[in-house]
Amino acid sequence: MKKDTINKFYSAYKLYIFPAIIILSGLILIIFIIYPQANKFIADQKVEQELLKKSSFLEDKAKILESYDQNDLRVNVGHALAAYPTERDFSNVFGLLQNLTSQSGYSLIAITLGGGSGKSGDSQTFLLKLEVIGSLSSTKNLISTLEDSPRIMRMNSMETTVGIDPNLVSTFLNLDVLYSSIPEVFGSIDSPLPELSQKDEELLARLAKAAPQTQPQTIQLGPRGKANPFE
């Protein structure tokens, strides 16, 4: 009986029931499958593009890193650190100052280490007090030789006293010798590599040329200690 009623009802209203079922099914498919999947597809397209971009970036970065000659790089870092080291390098600077003063026609009488440390911009400094004797006309040359030396230093202050003989002036020169600790952050996997410009290459060549005058400083960047501590 019930079945007959349903059949009769369906037959009477099938023109409305059938489209309603079609529309309902279509809506269910659209709401639960098409719409969320389409949204996820669009979102994942962006993710895919970013992953491709990252992949391309890392591939280029890996190629560039692998193309560097480790020895050359180590030598260049050594030269740069010799010019601008990570810590105070008294013995290196003392030897260098003797050479530079004699190159400028001056005689180095005494070097005294000043107390404490200072700052010059982003750099740290230690003070050296020089007592030199030479010609008055060579004072300018002395200052520029010191400031252009392969070891970075700046004139702090100076006092020159001229005696009877202008070829024998006594000069007290205070020098700020610069140094700076190594950077704390060396970049992550995703960070771009620094590029060495033409000016950087020229500077490196200049430092390399002056290298015999300074002692390169080596610095270990990776893990330290024994590979096997039990040996």
Selected range binding other proteins among 1-9, 43-51, 94-102, 108-116, rule: CB under 8 A: 43-51
- Structure tokens given for 94: 């003392």
| Strand residues in the chain grouped as ranges (E) | 107-113, 118-120, 123-134, 153-161, 169-179
Return the exposure string of 79-115: e unless at least 16 CB atoms fall within 10 Å of the residue's CB, then b: bbbbbebeeebeebbeebbeebbeebbbebeebeebe
Is residue 87 close enough to count as binding other proteins by CB under 8 A?
no
Residue from 7, 25, 117, 167 binding other proteins (CB under 8 A): 25
Selected range binding other proteins among 2-10, 90-98, 102-110, 185-193, rule: CB under 8 A: 185-193
Q: Give, as ranges, the residues between 193 and 222 that touch other proteins (CB under 8 A).
A: 193-196, 199-200, 203-204, 206-207, 219, 221-222
Number of residues that bind other proteins (CB under 8 A): 81
**Least Cβ distance, residue 28 to other proteins (angstroms):** 9
**Least Cβ distance, residue 111 to other proteins (angstroms):** 19
Q: How far apart are CA 198 and CA 148, in angstroms?
A: 20
**Least Cβ distance, residue 94 to other proteins (angstroms):** 20
Of residues 6 and 193, the one with the C-beta less far from other proteins:
193
**Burial of 229: CB neighbours in 10 Å, binned 0-12, 13-18, 19+:** exposed
- Structure tokens given for 230: 């039990």
**Run of H or E residues at 20:** helix 2-29
Is residue 113 close enough to count as binding other proteins by CB under 8 A?
no
Of the candidates 108, 120, 111, 107, the residue with the CA atom closest to the CA atom of residue 177: 120
Q: Are 151 and 95 in contact (CB under 8 A)?
A: no
Residue from 6, 10, 30, 94 binding other proteins (CB under 8 A): 30
**Least Cβ distance, residue 110 to other proteins (angstroms):** 19
Q: How far apart are CA 8 and CA 2, in angstroms?
A: 10
Selected range binding other proteins among 15-23, 88-96, 98-106, 108-116, rule: CB under 8 A: 15-23
Of residues 26 and 107, the one with the C-beta less far from other proteins:
26
Q: Give, as ranges, the residues between 127 and 166 that touch other proteins (CB under 8 A).
A: 136, 139-140, 143-144, 147-148, 152, 154-162, 166
Amino acid at 106: Y
